[in-house]
Amino acid sequence: MTQQTSESGIAAVETQSLDESNLKRLAGGGDGAGVQEISGTGFSYRHDWGPRNGQLKLNLTWAGFTTATRVFVAIGEGTGGGGKFLGGARYTLYNVAPDTGKVGIWINIEWGSPISLIADYLIIEP
């Protein structure tokens, strides 16, 4: 692990690699490492939540969501043109909770004023 100093203190920077033989072993589920093959149907969706900051609970509604829906979310700062980038603010995703007709996310954006929030959703229906 290496460390780098920034204006806000010391941040740990760690890099780990997954080589092709390990990836094939994990994808095959050979060692029982909690790898589960994806089955079902799915899609991804990018949502622009607009300027936000602080702690928020946000609900994305869609009639197709159920408690059995698998939803994976990534959040970050938006470019204004639909992309994302690594800026100076810390975006933290605490929870993702699919429910009937909605999926809720609980997040925190550590910035003194509202800035762009983009959320990418990977939705897999069983």
Which CATH number covers residue 92? 2.60.40
* Domain contains 79: yes
Q: Where are the alpha helices (DSSP H) in the chain?
A: 20-28
* Domain contains 49: yes
* Domain contains 55: yes
Report whether pLDDT(11) > 80.
no
Report whether pLDDT(3) > 60.
no
Domain count, the chain: 1
* Domain contains 83: yes
Report whether pLDDT(28) > 70.
no
Report whether pLDDT(26) > 80.
no
* Domain contains 116: yes
Q: Give the model's confidence band at 81: pLDDT under 50 very low, under 70 low, under 90 confident, else very high.
A: confident
CA pair distance 31, 25, nearest whole angstrom: 7
Give me the domain span that covers residue 47.
41-125
- The helix (H) or strand (E) run that includes residue 76 is strand 70-78
Q: Looking at residue 79, what is its pLDDT?
A: 87
* Domain contains 120: yes
pLDDT tens readout for residues 95-124: 999 999 999 999 999 999 999 999 999 999
Span 31-60, mean pLDDT?
Answer: 85
Q: What percent of the chain has pLDDT over 70?
A: 76
CA pair distance 52, 116, nearest whole angstrom: 6
Span 28-54, mean pLDDT?
Answer: 79
